[in-house]
Structure 1
Amino acid sequence: MATQTLDTKGMNCPLPILKTKKAMKDLATGETLEVLSTDPGSVKDMEAFCKSTGNKLLSSNDNGGVFTYEIEKG
């Protein structure tokens, strides 16, 4: 279960990534953030964000156009 949930539904690039970056700053190492997004571009964006920041993308799911990501702070 995620430590925190961030709802970015209805927002387009780059807002989901910017809000995710801000929310991750508030988490301690090992805590997780669940991000909800409706932006199809967020799939590649979240993968790239995690690789570039040292965070771990634990899961990525598409549930009828709502993308859910679980990210662990590295």
Structure 2
Amino acid sequence: MIEDTLRSYVGFSVEVVTPLDLVKGTLLAVTSSTIVVQTPGDDYGPPKNVNVLLPVISYVRVLTDGGV
């Protein structure tokens, strides 16, 4: 299953593409229905955790072996 493959990339920098959005950050967690990506904070705020439902993901690009 795709979640098993994604679990092997926890801690890696990723780009997650959905039909409506692009999420860039560090893959933190993978469940049977979602992934959690920590996105860098903007100039005024801390990093944010973004939950993305697996069924809406078009593709995931793995960028590096850790950190953004």
The structure that is helix-richer by fraction is: 1
The structure that is strand-richer by fraction is: 2
Establish whether TM, by shorter chain, passes 0.5: no
TM-score range, shorter chain: under 0.3
TM-score, scaled to structure 1: 0.26
